[in-house]
A and B are shown apart, each in its own frame.
Chain A
Amino acid sequence: MTNYLYKRGKRRASGARKAYRIALVWAACLLSVIASGQSRYTVNGTIRDKNSGEALIGATVSLLETKTPERGILSNSYGFYSVTAPAGHYTLLITFSGYQPDSLAIDLTHNLTLPIELATAAGQLAEVVVSAQKRNDNVTRPLMGVQKLTTKEINDIPVLFGEKDVLKTIQLLPGIQFAGDGNSGFYVRGGGADQNLILLDEATVYNPSHLLGFFSTFNSDAIKDVTVYKGGMPAEYGGRLASVVDIKMNDGNDKEYHFGGGIGLISTRLSAEGPIVPDKGSFSISGRRTYADLFLKFSPDSSVNDNSLYFYDLNVKANYKFDERNHIYFSGYFGRDNLAFGNTFGIDYGNATGTARWNHVFSNRLFSNTSLISSKYSYKIRINSENNDIGFTSDIRDADLKEDLQYFVDAASKIDFGFSVIHHIIAPGIIDASSGSSYNSLTLQNKYSLENAVYISHQWSPTDKLHFDYGLRASDFLVLGPGDFYTYDSAGNTTDTAHYNSGKIIKTYTNPEPRFSVSFQLDEESSVKASYNRNTQVLHLLSNSTSSNPTDLWIPSSNNVRPEIADQESIGYFKNFKDNRYEFSVEAYYKSMQNQIDYKNGAQLIANEYVESQLLFGKGRAYGLELFLKKKAGKFTGWLSYTLSRTELKIDGVNQNNWYPAKQDRTHDISLVGIYQAGRKWTLSATWVYYTGNAVTWPNGKYNINGQTAFYYTERNAYRMPAYHRMDVAATLQGRKRKRFSGSWTFSVYNLYGRENAYSIVFQTDPNDPTKTQALQYSLFRFVPSVTYNFKF
């Protein structure tokens, strides 16, 4: 035992020493950078859309006369840019995909504040003009494992029921895997569905799905920008092992009012945006409501139609600019699903998030954003049968304070630093039973915790070919009282109960998380990159069913459950060709994961105070190769992505402690996306996906127990579901534009060739021949046609 402690102490010391060394190197770099600045001036400002005033995220700003003009700096999440250079006359060049580039002659003999407005590339021809612009950020930036999607791509890609969907669309990208029909969860580089951090205007969205996973919680009308990090996460992000999906909502037009909407087979969407004070403040509201329950009314099955099955959600955002230095934003999301079976059973669930932000420009080089964020996910189940009138509720509530600062050193160097504090309260379950019911009312104790982090990172280009992005995130997790904390023996029996009062710290976990990316540009159009990053995860989603449920339980790390840790190394080669019209990349990754969670056989996760006694722990490893070829310009655009991968787990007490394939292990995963602009009116698109079936556990034998056939299992996840493949197509007809009004029709077919993909395979006694057993395959959708009318004015 002492030996063990000693080793742990030693390891921690070496971790700290490593962190210290990194900090030292960083400080040295920073000093050299700052020291070199003599009579340098800064031009800064915000880049916006000329027509709507929307801040443009990731626009490139460069000085034509400096030696790395094509790289420049990128505007941040609020459109802010800052470029510092020695005194002189320069041409400031601003480019952004889908917009007309702008250039301005500037006299940089004093500091300048220069707000910039870019006009959209209007008309059909501009598509080509814009795309011909050099957009080789994918090659020149050190970012690896990052995918960005534009609203246009999201809009053109066909999806189920014509409901355009951000989360479904990102699953067509390499390394991001569709979890299957009826599952809006996705797997990134072998990570579980709960290992994705999904942020909506910085607020964590705990359940990203509606209606049993057929739709995501994100209404694409409300969304401006989506970025997915599957490796090489910037130090600003933390808290999940596998990925970060950073979704930003529209700010709203601060010049004129606009309205839009869509009427589809299963839902209607409406949105409005406009100025609060012209050029200073604006709002944006988007809402949608499905009427899938109306579908049920058409059901030939008469007893289906008193059931309800719908969701609605609302995105609201408002912002106000006091001056060029101070800008505030408020954004909120509220969504709810309601599913009920007559009066007997019902469940409603949903997320609510709110974010208040203050952008402050401390100096022309130092940008700050302070956010106050709240997030809540809750569900309520009602059961009403016989004497039982029971409600079961559970929720998770977050309150965060987050501070992010960006220091724009010069065109070759930028420093990001900040901190975040998140207070989590998890109410695992409250049973509210009527006095005559067969169940007792019960309140499981709340779980309190504090998730803190500080980070610093530096983007630095020592030469015009070599770029670094490196940093350190230090995360600190505090398990807080009040509450009873249990100790279990290996059989899961409680051996000790310790009570702690409010405010007491029961356990602390501190983890340094180094992040490092480097890119080396081989020539104008190609580069090699490498990255290493460590991520930790302190909240864990318990779900021992085969697909995700709204009732899955989040638990914090505790005295029994340690934070999950993942170390990922990746290397890649990036090449653009034909004047950046084509983009190609190959990335390889290896990820090792510690403190992974699995469940004991027959684990009781529902309303169990001792739920931690039901868990098993182990480790995981995932590795793979991702190929991506994208055509970015021309009438025909699209991409091909292929992932070859393996994901395995080794859990104490499972599969004789041997490595076995994780459920989400996918040998092959292919996505093919094509979008064709046929003339001025029609846009045609098609997607095709193929993947190796999930790893599943099937019986190797059978026996008789209590007069019934039971199945005999010998190995975990040793079989495969049949391979999944599907083609979806869509056609959009753009109506004639009349004054401000424009409308379009989208026709789509999901699963065009009607492939019966296996949703579930069930083993049972043959109903027609009790002396035999059979395997029965259930599949969900074949040919789902849909039509949607979208309009805006």
Chain B
Amino acid sequence: MRKTATYGFLLTLLLASACKKVIDVDLKSATPQIVIEGNITDAGGPYIVKITKTVDFSAENVYPPVTNAVVTITDSTMKRTEQLQQIDSGVYVTSTIIGQTRHTYGMVVDVDGQRYTASSTMPRRVQLDSITFAENVNFNNQTEINAVVNFQDPVAIGNYYMFTEYVNSRQIPDIFVFEDRLSTGRYIEEPLFNDSSYLQKGDTLVLSMDCIDRNTYDYFFTLLNVTGNNNFQSVTPSNPVTNISNGALGYFSAHTVQRTAITVY
């Protein structure tokens, strides 16, 4: 429910008259921390685990890959383990594991004598019914076109969803997560509000609907809480809640994938 948004728009009204400027802030540098991003899906492999390190705020957005890691993924349900191969700097891929719903996967990453572990269970797939479009006036007071996802949430509580949009093959920076905590068993018609107008009539939209587990939902929910325009009303910033042990940043997610291509109307 977009209650924060409700309130955020009011601030936006006030901030319409506000001035903004880029300022210099003197941020301390931090010891580079390991960042792991691992995904297993129900689409065919190979599946990728990307390992990088953080850089200082003032640095360029170039993140050093970690090339000396040993990465294994275990299908705990099938009791099958595989060591991943590095195909590009910091990019490790599987070759045999096949992602299946309701299987639990474990990831172990060994780097420089440190071990990072995580596990994730791929939820049951919920079918996306359709994508429709709606016009809304956004908080910057522009009319924008938003995709609306339509699907039936299952009767049992505990379903988590993530939506990613690609317009004309480019990923839109907004990520959407949705939980059925307040919507269990409902037919969901959820507009995906963008921070800017990205969708134009005639564009090709590829929308990915992923059924994610609770940890992945928590990760992206807490990540979204501290990024972008949410900062006006945000919680005290902190690193997202991760399912990876030992202080690593990032997440490990086993999830289903449904990609749908549609022309924006």
Contact = CB atoms under 8 A, between A and B. Distances in A.
Contacts of B20: 776-779
Chain B interface size band reads: 35 or more
A72 B231 CA distance: 55
B108 to A, nearest CB: 20
B3 A773 contact: no
A602 B222 contact: yes
Given A709-B61, A712-B249, A438 B186 contact: yes
Contacts of A436: 187
13 contacts: A341-B10, A439-B186, A440-B183, A440-B186, A702-B59, A704-B63, A705-B251, A706-B164, A706-B175, A719-B27, A762-B232, A776-B20, A779-B20
A779 B186 contact: no
Q: Which of A386, A390, A771 has the most CB of B within 10 A?
A: A386
A438 B187 contact: yes
Nearest to A700: B30
A382 B228 CA distance: 25
Contacts of A347: 6-7, 10
B78 interface: no
A765 B3 contact: no
Q: Which of B16, B137, B191, B238 has the most CB of A within 10 A?
A: B238
In order of increasing CB-CB distance, the 9 nearest A-B pairs are A602-B222, A700-B30, A701-B54, A303-B141, A345-B6, A701-B30, A703-B35, A762-B231, A703-B54
A82 B224 CA distance: 63
A765 B171 contact: no
Contact of A773 (B14, B61, B175): B61
Nearest to A546: B234
A770 B61 contact: yes
Nearest to A431: B182
Interface string A756-793: 10111111110000111111111110100000000000
A702 B61 contact: yes
Q: Which of B24, B164, B232 has the most CB of A within 10 A?
A: B232
B54 A702 contact: yes
Interface in A156-210: 182
Interface string B24-66: 1101111011010100000000000000111111011111000
Contacts of A414: none
B48 to A, nearest CB: 12
Contacts of A303: 137, 141-143
A678 interface: no
Nearest to B153: A438
A381 interface: yes
A360 B40 CA distance: 77
B136 interface: yes
Given A388-B189, A437-B186, A771-B60, 10 more contacts: A301-B16, A304-B141, A344-B137, A385-B191, A392-B1, A440-B185, A544-B236, A698-B237, A708-B227, A778-B232
B225 interface: yes
A339 interface: yes
Nearest to B137: A303
Q: Which of B28, B59, B63, B250 has the most CB of A within 10 A?
A: B28
A549 B136 contact: no
B261 interface: no
B244 to A, nearest CB: 12
Interface string A584-609: 00000000000000010111101100
Given A182-B14, A439-B183, A699 B27 contact: yes
A772 B55 CA distance: 12
A303 B24 CA distance: 34
A439 B187 CA distance: 9
Contacts of A707: 171, 173
Nearest to A607: B182
B25 A714 contact: no
Interface in B114-164: 134, 136-137, 141-143, 148, 164
Interface string B175-188: 10000011111111
Contacts of B22: 774-777
A553 to B, nearest CB: 12
A703 to B, nearest CB: 4
B14 A212 contact: yes
A502 B8 CA distance: 39
Contacts of B222: 601-602
A267 interface: no
B30 A712 contact: yes
Interface string B216-253: 00100111011111011111111111000000011100
A663 to B, nearest CB: 8
A431 B191 CA distance: 19
A445 interface: no
A703 B63 contact: yes
A777 B21 contact: yes
B98 interface: no
A716 B236 contact: yes
B55 A703 contact: yes
A648 to B, nearest CB: 15
Interface in A201-259: 212
Given A439-B1, A440-B185, A777 B14 contact: no
B173 to A, nearest CB: 6
A342 interface: yes
Interface string A705-732: 1111111111011110000000000000
Given A712-B249, A778-B20, A602 B225 contact: yes
Contacts of B236: 544, 546, 663, 697, 716-717
A780 B21 contact: no
B175 A708 contact: yes
Q: Which of B2, B136, B141 has the most CB of A within 10 A?
A: B141
A2 interface: no
Nearest to B7: A549
Contact of B18 (A307, A759, A770): A759
B87 interface: no
A303 B143 CA distance: 9
A711 B189 contact: no
A136 to B, nearest CB: 45
A347 B9 CA distance: 11
Contacts of B19: 756, 778-779, 782
Interface in A514-535: none
Contacts of A388: 189
A667 to B, nearest CB: 17
Nearest to B191: A386
Contact of A705 (B2, B37, B143): B37
Given A442-B182, A700-B27, A700-B30, A760 B232 contact: yes
Interface in A738-772: 756, 758-765, 770-772
Nearest to A382: B6
Contact of A703 (B13, B143, B249): B249
Contact of A764 (B55, B186, B228, B250): B228
Contacts of B232: 546, 760, 762, 778
A438 B227 CA distance: 26
A615 to B, nearest CB: 13
Contacts of B185: 440
Nearest to B235: A544
A602 B17 CA distance: 31
B13 A307 contact: yes
Given A303-B141, A544-B236, A760-B232, A780 B187 contact: no
A299 interface: yes
A35 B43 CA distance: 93
Given A342-B137, A601-B241, A761 B175 contact: no
Nearest to A388: B189
Interface in B191-219: 191, 218
A702 B62 contact: no
B189 A387 contact: yes
Nearest to B182: A439
B237 A713 contact: yes
Given A437-B186, A701-B57, A775-B24, A304 B13 contact: yes
B60 A772 contact: yes
